[in-house]
């Protein structure tokens, strides 16, 4: 099969990682890279001397041998660069957040749909073995009716200039939520956040509470100012609970046969009954999520039939993220 010739736009923080992963996959061939910063170009040519490098994005657009452009530039450039790529009839891969506006993202989606071009938003958790295992367990009603989703996602950095901690980190949680529960819709969101470093008012720590129409409530804590990297999710159900600790090297997912029931007693009407059973550690697919994303994209491009799975989830996420700009309660 003809390999998909790929160019990477943006060679700073994430671009080199994309080059390495696209190179490892047999369906793709990385042929070019683009960046405006000399130091990024110099580092890239040292690590990947076979690439054709340029400062001119138009060089990628005008190259008839390039099939796909992967955009790893700052979020505020995603819409413009994505639209130019689609207009040049290139397939597009975009890092999260999709764009800085739901309207912009919807426009890119509609252009791709009209021209039957791939538009893939990099949401690796949707293809991640532990998340797929949790999805399987929830679909089989292993935990009963889901009640709540709690997440702690913290680290020291990477503080960014143009987006806050919510726009940077929350897409991971919402991609997981919309993957686990495909048809739910948010009904109310409450946000609180603060900034403590530098002069920017963009939030570096934030808490989000999102209510959904299926009764699920998501509590998400995000921070760029934590001394410890934490990636911890709990999903509580009527019968059991799931704990997902992404820092764990192997036992990332655990199912706890635990729950609380309220029973009325003869002496007092308030009588919580706590049940604690076994802990089950299931196995899951160990394939790297980014590699599975590339499998998915390569198959769709070979068939020229696109589901726009990640773009649709990214659009759902943007509807929520846009409301966080106001940091007020909002009913949808």
Classify each residue of 168-189 as buried b or exposed e, where b means 16 or more C-beta atoms within 10 Å of its C-beta: bbbbbbbbbbbbbbeebebeeb
Cα dihedral 93, 163, 40, 55, rounded to 10, equals: 60
- How far is the C-alpha of 98 from the C-alpha of 121, rounded, in Å? 6
What are 108's two structure tokens?
């890119």
Q: How many CA atoms lie within 13 A of 29 on its CB side?
A: 11
The pLDDT tens digits of the residues spanning 70-114 come to 999 999 999 999 999 999 999 999 999 999 999 999 999 999 999
DSSP 309: H
- How far is the C-alpha of 114 from the C-alpha of 111, rounded, in Å? 5
- How far is the C-alpha of 166 from the C-alpha of 168, rounded, in Å? 5
- How far is the C-alpha of 246 from the C-alpha of 139, rounded, in Å? 21
Task: Give the pLDDT band of residue 159 (cuts 50, 70, 90).
Answer: confident
The CATH number fitting domain 4-122, selected from 3.40.50.2300, 2.120.10.30, 2.30.30.40, 3.40.50.720:
3.40.50.720
Mean pLDDT computed over 268-288 = 77
Mean pLDDT computed over 150-155 = 97
- Residue ranges per domain, the chain? 4-122, 125-288+320-331
The CATH number fitting domain 125-288+320-331, selected from 3.30.360.10, 1.10.3720.10, 3.40.50.620, 3.40.720.10:
3.30.360.10
Mean pLDDT computed over 37-56 = 96
Omega into 226 within 30° of 0, i.e. cis?
Answer: no
pLDDT confidence of residue 157 = 83
In the block, tokens 């019968």 appear at: 239
Task: Give the pLDDT band of residue 263 (cuts 50, 70, 90).
Answer: low
The pLDDT tens digits of the residues spanning 299-316 come to 999 999 999 999 999 999
DSSP 332: -
Omega into 97 within 30° of 0, i.e. cis?
Answer: yes
Strand partners, 231: 153
182 phi and psi angles, rounded to 5 deg? -60, -25
The pLDDT tens digits of the residues spanning 2-30 come to 899 999 999 998 999 999 999 999 999 99
What are 325's two structure tokens?
């700009």
- How far is the C-alpha of 298 from the C-alpha of 120, rounded, in Å? 11
pTM of the model: 0.88
Q: Contact, 67 vs 88, CB < 8 A?
A: no
Average pLDDT taken over every residue of the chain? 92
- How far is the C-alpha of 158 from the C-alpha of 236, rounded, in Å? 30
Phi-psi region of 261 (alpha: psi -120 to 50; beta: other; left: phi over 0): beta
The pLDDT tens digits of the residues spanning 281-304 come to 999 999 999 999 999 999 999 999
pLDDT confidence of residue 328 = 41
pLDDT confidence of residue 161 = 78
State yes or no: pLDDT of 69 exceeds 70: yes
State yes or no: pLDDT of 332 exceeds 50: no
């Amino acid at each position: 099969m003809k390999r998909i010739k790929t160019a990477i736009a943006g060679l700073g923080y994430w671009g080199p990682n994309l080059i390495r992963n696209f190179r490892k996959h047999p369906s793709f061939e990385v042929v070019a890279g683009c960046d405006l910063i000399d130091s990024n170009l110099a580092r890239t040519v040292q690590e990947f001397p076979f690439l054709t490098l340029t400062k001119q994005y138009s060089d990628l657009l005008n190259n008839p041998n390039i099939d796909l452009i992967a955009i790893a530039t700052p979020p505020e450039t995603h819409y413009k660069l994505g639209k130019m790529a689609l207009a040049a009839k290139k397939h597009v891969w975009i890092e999260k957040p999709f764009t800085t506006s739901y309207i912009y993202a919807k426009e890119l989606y509609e252009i791709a749909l009209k021209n039957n071009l791939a538009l893939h938003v990099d949401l690796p958790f949707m293809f991640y073995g532990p998340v797929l295992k949790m999805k399987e367990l929830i679909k089989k009603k292993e935990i009963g009716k889901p009640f709540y989703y709690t997440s702690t996602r913290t680290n020291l950095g990477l503080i960014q200039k143009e987006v806050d901690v919510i726009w940077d980190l929350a897409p991971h949680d919402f991609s997981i939520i919309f993957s686990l529960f495909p048809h739910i819709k948010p009904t109310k969101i409450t946000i609180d956040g603060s900034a403590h470093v530098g002069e920017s008012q963009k939030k570096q720590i934030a808490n989000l509470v999102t209510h959904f129409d299926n009764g699920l409530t998501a509590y998400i804590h995000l921070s760029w100012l934590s001394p410890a990297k934490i990636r911890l999710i709990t999903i509580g159900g009527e019968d059991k609970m799931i704990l997902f600790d992404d820092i764990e090297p192997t036992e990332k997912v655990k199912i706890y046969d635990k729950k609380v029931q309220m029973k009325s007693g003869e002496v007092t009407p308030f009588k919580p009954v706590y049940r604690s059973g076994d802990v089950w550690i299931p196995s899951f697919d160990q394939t790297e999520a980014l590699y599975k994303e590339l499998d998915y994209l390569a198959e769709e491009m070979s068939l020229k039939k696109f589901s726009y799975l990640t773009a649709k989830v990214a659009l759902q996420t943007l509807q929520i993220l846009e409301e966080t700009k106001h940091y007020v309660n909002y009913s949808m």
